[in-house]
Amino acid sequence: MSLSMYQASIPVFTRMLANLIAILEKGAAHAEAKNFDATVLVNSRLAPDMFALAKQVQIATDMVKGCAARLAGLEPPKYDDNETTIAELIGRVQKVLDYLATFSAAQIDGSEEKAIELALRTRTLNFDGQTYLQHFVIPNMYFHITTTYNILRHNGVELSKQDFIGAA
């Protein structure tokens, strides 16, 4: 049995974003239990030249909402990157989950060869749909969710591999 573009995208994105919400919730609970302002976590980074946790979540969500829209031939929604609290970041992730739920397999399947043009600040990338999904979006999504996990873990939040991969 072959894997469709829909199966390779929307359910994967949905699962990882649900896991991201659980990870962020553990971060908020940790800050509350240790009696410190959770915005410390939102603004934390692993290295001076890396983005802070808030930007990691924003990029992960932008990747998946943009991918779903582009594969379906739609214009991706634009969100302001103005989240400053864990609650606001969770709200953003939930908004993307709600958006992903609007897509059907019929909208995504068959997009393997769809031309995808992605204008970045310094250059434009061109992909076919399958390459865009498998070699650009999915690795970026995992990178930014992993980095979010690592920032929280580095700051003492008790997280495990199971939190990252979710329930089987």
Domain boundaries, the chain: 5-158
Angle of the 53-71 helix axis to the 138-154 helix axis, nearest 10: 160
Instruction: Write the pLDDT tens digit of every residue in 2-23.
Output: 889 999 999 999 999 999 999 9
Instruction: Write the pLDDT tens digit of every residue in 118-135.
Output: 988 999 999 999 999 999
Instruction: Write the pLDDT tens digit of every residue in 67-108.
Output: 999 999 999 999 999 999 999 999 999 999 999 999 999 999
What is the pLDDT confidence band of residue 167, given thresholds at 50, 70 and 90? confident
The fourth-level CATH superfamily of domain 5-158 is dinb family like domain (1.20.120.450)
Got the DSSP string for 54-108?
A: HHHHHHHHHHHHHHHHHHTT-PPP-------SHHHHHHHHHHHHHHHTT--HHHH
| Share of residues in the chain with pLDDT > 90 (%) | 95
Mean of per-residue pLDDT scores for the chain: 96
- Chain centroid to CA 98: 13
| Degrees, nearest 5: CA angle 86-87-90 | 85
Give the residue from 152, 158, 139, 156 showing the smallest Cα distance to 46.
152
What is the pLDDT confidence band of residue 1, given thresholds at 50, 70 and 90? low
Instruction: Write the pLDDT tens digit of every residue in 150-160.
Output: 999 999 999 99
Cβ(73)–Cβ(106) below 8 Å: no
Question: Which residues share a beta bridge with 118?
Answer: 125
d(CA 124, CA 112): 19
